């Protein structure tokens, strides 16, 4: 793993090829001295070693974050916080290609897809920079007898524990950093152990942008050690978590000690509904890439394809044919469209669900197994898979697979489509394909999900809230609602006469 330029000797992110922890503005070794490997999922080659933080390191990081919150950072004006965010955005832009390569090496995303996220990554940072100077309370007319002046203040919630997933290291990290820095909170970040390189590089860029020591701390390590310690720490005022609903349940349990605020962006089993009157030329690639993009490792992926019965065989066949054209390979190849799964563990999980699908009676029209020969021999590759003949009560239709596996389900009419769409414990994303605008609006209202895409899929903008219903979590990221979750409201009632 190539060493990254250090700010000063005590601030070197590397030590003999091992990445350190960022605590109180310095890159430090973990208290345990332990490390873990990070490997390229395309070929299983060793990239380097990462510091394995534990509860002691979390304790030090939370202490640093508290001191920064109550000290220098609290004196920064909204304009000064905005200035740091804008400088950070410029540095991310200047180093964007290197960040894309880190994402590709560490978790396998095709470099072409990583590059396509430039506008989103930079847009998020600059969006939050804009919000930094718009935070305000209200003056309130009241009916208290006498003369009273009443108003509210918006104040940062405090120390935030952020736990990010491995499927989009760059944008997921930025999504957590933005509201923290805009509102004046401080952060201890625990990146996913499967993909920590990009978050650590972002930590360097934040220091270069002039962020005071202790405002953002990064403790790499495992969920059961560093992550659990962070979620349960009594000095943390809020936890922001993105990941599986199983871990989300543990986060809620861990947060009860001091009733810390919790926002959760969890899993999904999103329905993508295709009516017979849809523009099929657009819907075929749209529905395919709704699940195959990033090898299906997207929480809102449209993994349940609901197709009107009159076009089911034709449409699902076309999606299968499209899947056959997708190039699967090493993400560093610019022609690659589908990269590897992130790890051997994830590969085993997906293969397990493919076996379950066969046992349940689903038919793989394309794919259905690991790619293991030639250039795929040493990596964690699964062919894009289309399962036909799926019923909504099958496990492959109800449980999040997090791989390039599409489950195609037939429906007869609008009401049945809505019923199937909502017959899941999740409610994150959804799609509707139709030329009938009225039908689109009715279905958008009928679906119990945080986002409904109509005649498109996975389009996102920093100003548009994103989050889920039901077991897909609570709270929203992006939009003005996002920073509200990082603010306390204080009421001031002043007797003036």
Q: What is the DSSP letter of 211?
A: P
The CA distance from 295 to 309, in Å, is 27
Q: Are 382 and 295 in contact (CB under 8 A)?
A: yes
Q: How far is CA 306 from CA 62, 315, 417, 419, in A?
A: 46, 11, 7, 11
Question: What are the start-end ranges of the E strands in 3-158?
Answer: 14-15, 18-19, 21-23, 26-28, 35-39, 46-51, 139-140, 148-156
CA nearest to 341, candidates 385, 407, 399, 297: 297
Q: Which of 185, 193, 204, 265 is catalytic?
A: 265
Q: Coil, helix or strand for 296?
A: helix
User: Burial, 265: exposed, middle or buried (Cβ in 10 Å; 0-12, 13-18, 19+)?
Assistant: buried
**Centroid of chain to Cα 6:** 28
Told to judge if 299 belongs to the known catalytic residues of this protein, a careful annotator would answer: yes
At 222 the three-state DSSP class reads: coil
* Active-site residue flag, 265: yes
Q: Measured between alpha carbons, how far is 220 from 90 in angstroms, rounded to an integer?
A: 25
* Residue-by-residue DSSP string for 406-448: EEEEEESSHHHHHHHHH-SSEES--EEE-S-HHHHHHHHHH--
How far, in Å, are 28, 147, 191, 462, 494 from residue 171 at the CA level? 25, 50, 12, 11, 44
Instruction: Kindly state the tokens that stand for 168.
Output: 């989009």
Active-site entry in 299, 308, 400, 477: 299
Tokens describing residue 236 = 């943390």
**Token duo for residue 449:** 């999900």
Tokens of 212: 């005071």
Distance, CA of 377 to CA of 463 (rounded, Å): 42
In 164-303, which ranges are E strands? 186-190, 216-218, 238-242, 261-265, 271-274
Closest CA to 170 of 226, 111, 222: 111
Supply the angle between the helices 197-208 and 96-107 in degrees, to the nearest 10: 160
Active-site residues, by number, are 265, 299
């Amino acid at each position: 793993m190539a060493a990254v330029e250090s700010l000063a000797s005590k601030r070197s992110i590397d030590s003999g090829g091992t990445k350190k922890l960022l605590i109180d503005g310095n890159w430090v070794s973990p208290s345990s001295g332990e490390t873990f490997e990070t490997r390229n999922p395309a070929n299983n080659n060793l990239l380097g070693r990462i510091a394995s933080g534990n509860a002691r390191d979390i304790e030090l990081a939370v202490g640093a974050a508290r001191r920064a919150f109550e000290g220098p950072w609290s004196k920064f004006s909204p304009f000064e916080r905005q200035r740091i965010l804008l400088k950070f955005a410029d540095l991310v832009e200047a180093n964007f290609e290197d960040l894309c390569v880190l994402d590709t090496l560490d978790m396998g995303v095709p470099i072409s897809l990583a590059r396509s996220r430039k506008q989103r990554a930079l847009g998020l940072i600059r969006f939050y920079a804009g919000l930094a100077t718009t935070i305000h309370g209200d003056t309130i007319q009241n009916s208290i007898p006498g003369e009273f002046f009443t108003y509210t203040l918006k104040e940062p919630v405090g120390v935030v524990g952020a736990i990010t997933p491995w499927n989009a290291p760059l944008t997921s990290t930025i999504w957590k950093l933005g509201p923290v820095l805009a509102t004046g909170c401080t952060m201890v970040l625990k990146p996913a152990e499967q993909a920590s390189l990009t978050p650590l590089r972002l930590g360097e860029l934040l220091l270069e942008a002039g962020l005071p020591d202790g405002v953002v701390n990064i403790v790499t390590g495992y969920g059961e050690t560093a992550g659990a310690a962070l979620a349960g720490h009594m000095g943390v005022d809020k936890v922001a978590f993105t990941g599986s609903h199983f871990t989300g349940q543990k986060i809620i349990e861990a947060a009860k000690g001091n009733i810390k605020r919790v926002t959760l962006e969890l899993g999904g089993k999103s329905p993508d509904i295709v009516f017979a009157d849809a523009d099929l030329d657009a819907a075929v690639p749209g529905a395919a890439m709704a699940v195959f993009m990033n090898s299906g490792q997207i929480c809102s992926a449209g993994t349940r394809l609901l197709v009107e019965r009159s076009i089911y065989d034709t449409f699902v066949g076309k999606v299968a044919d499209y899947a056959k054209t997708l190039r699967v390979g090493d993400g560093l190849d610019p022609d690659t469209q589908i990269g590897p799964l992130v790890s051997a563990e994830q590969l085993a999980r997906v293969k397990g669900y493919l076996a379950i699908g066969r046992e349940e009676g689903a038919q793989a029209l394309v794919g259905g197994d690991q790619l293991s020969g030639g250039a795929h021999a040493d990596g964690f590759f699964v062919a894009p898979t289309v399962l036909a003949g799926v019923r909504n009560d099958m496990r492959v239709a109800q449980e999040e697979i997090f791989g390039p596996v599409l489950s195609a389900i037939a429906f007869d009419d609008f009401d049945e489509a809505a019923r199937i769409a909502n017959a899941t414990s999740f409610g994150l994303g959804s799609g509707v394909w139709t030329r009938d605008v009225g039908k689109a609006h009715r279905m958008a209202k009928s679906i119990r999900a945080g986002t409904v895409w109509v005649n498109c899929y996975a389009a996102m903008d920093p100003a548009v809230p994103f989050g889920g219903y039901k077991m897909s979590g609570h709270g929203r990221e992006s939009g003005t609602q996002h920073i509200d979750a990082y603010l306390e409201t204080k009421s001031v009632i002043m007797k003036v006469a």
